[in-house]
Amino acid sequence: MNHSVIVEVTLREGIADPEGATIERALPALGFDGVTNVRAGKFFRLEIDAPSPDEALQRARALAERLLSNPVIEDAVARLRPS
Amino acid sequence: MTKVGVVVFPGSNCEYDAAAAMVDLGADVEFVWHSTTSLTGFDAIILPGGFAHGDYLRPGAIARFSPVMDAVGDFANAGGPVLGICNGFQVLTEAGLLPGALQKNRGLTFLSHPTTVVVTSTRSVLTRGATLAQELVIPINHFSGSYTCDDETLARLRDEDRVVLRYRDNPNGSKDDVAGVANEAGNVVGVMPHPERAMTTLLGSADGRVLLEGFLMLGAAAPR
């Protein structure tokens, strides 16, 4: 059965995020004040054929660590997408 | 004659510059398509610049799974000289053959200009022909060239004398001004600047020669 999984990849705390910083600096100029700690990342939506949601999640975590993220600088979080 | 393999991924675009530099220095060059699984017969391997597999996901993220990378790993582990230039450096870090990672440049700017780098270690296949503290003008041409690693890794790189080139004026936000690093044995090196594009003063600088000549000093003793 197919399970829909979402994987979010963000730079680890302490790793400079030039994209997030640039977005954060641009916001006040557009009138959006009071926005801090902007972090940019990547979003993946996957369909995984697995016997159970837990197994789908496990496989998503494995592939996120092996391919979707670079564990040297990034964290990956996988979660099931509510159907 | 020294035989150098220049690995070509779909999206590589500096393979001809690398090959021309090697031929200029008297080497025999063969292009190695990324689906190749054996590097038997080569004396040295270069991973050139470009956008392997479109740089999709992250630079080098897909390329590290190209079949040739297992062979590159074996070649490196056997002590063979491996040089990754720009995108090739990114591939080597993604493959785990070099520590750290290359991030988007500080300021999110694509940088393409000559830069001055300082030789900070001569204990690598790329810098063994150069002199410590020697300043070289070598062009950079990258968007994701900001070297990063955790503090522990950086401390180890410094202790083990593995930062081979540093920027004199850090252009991209690289940690500790790192422009190039070597593995523990010194036979695998990755650099963001392009020594193969600094082969003649006619094109701005010939400072890449001392690096690539050193790389081809294959009879020389292992760096360490």
Chain B residues with CB-CB distance to A18 below 8 A: 103-108, 146, 173
Residue A82: per-residue pLDDT: 82
SS3 B146: strand
B184 is catalytic: no
Q: How far is A39 from chain B (nearest CA, A)?
A: 14
pLDDT tens track for B81-95: 999 999 999 999 999
Do B108 and A19 lie within an 8 Å CB cutoff?
yes
Nearest to B101 among A67, A68, A70 (CB): A70
Residue of B130, B109, B115 lying closest to B189 (CA atoms):
B130
Give the Cα separation of A69 and B59 in Å (integer): 12
Residue B219: per-residue pLDDT: 54
Nearest to A70 among B94, B107, B146 (CB): B94
CA separation (Å) from A61 to A6, A44, A80? 10, 12, 11
How do the pLDDT tens digits run along chain B, 224 residues long? 899 999 999 999 999 999 999 999 999 999 999 999 999 999 999 999 999 999 999 999 999 999 999 999 999 999 999 999 999 999 999 999 999 999 999 989 999 999 999 999 999 999 999 999 999 999 999 999 999 999 999 999 999 999 999 999 999 999 999 999 999 999 999 999 999 999 999 999 999 999 999 999 865 554 55
Residue B136: per-residue pLDDT: 98
Give the Cα separation of A79 and B208 in Å (integer): 48
Catalytic residue among B34, B53, B142, B194: B194
- Domain holding A73, by residue range, is 2-80
Is domain B3-215 in CATH 3.40.50.880, yes or no? yes
B74-78 — which CB contacts under 8 Å span 24+ positions? B74/B39, B75/B39, B75/B42, B75/B45, B76/B183, B76/B187, B76/B188
CA dihedral B203, B207, B210, B213 (to 10 degrees): -20
* Residue labelled with tokens 């999984």: A5
Strand ranges of the sheet holding B163-167, from the earlier edge strand across to the other edge: B28-33, B3-8, B44-47, B82-85, B188-191, B178-182, B163-167, B111-119, B135-142
Do A19 and B104 lie within an 8 Å CB cutoff?
yes
CA dihedral B64, B69, B74, B76 (to 10 degrees): -70
pLDDT tens track for A13-56: 888 899 999 999 999 999 999 999 999 999 999 999 999 999 99
Give the Cα separation of B206 and B121 in Å (integer): 20
Structure tokens at B66: 């190209």
B86 is catalytic: yes
Q: Are B189 and B207 in contact (CB under 8 A)?
A: no
Q: Bin B55: left if φ > 0, else alpha if -120 < ψ < 50, else beta.
A: left
Rounded to two decimals, the ipTM of the complex is 0.85
Chain B residues with CB-CB distance to A20 below 8 A: none
Taking residue B170's Cβ as centre, other Cβ atoms within 10 Å add up to 17
Helices (H), chain B: 15-24, 68-77, 87-94, 151-159, 208-215
CATH label of the domain that carries residue A51:
3.30.1280.10
SS3 B64: helix
Total domains present in chain A: 1
HEC per residue, B10-41:
CCECCHHHHHHHHHHCCCEEEEEECCCCCCCC
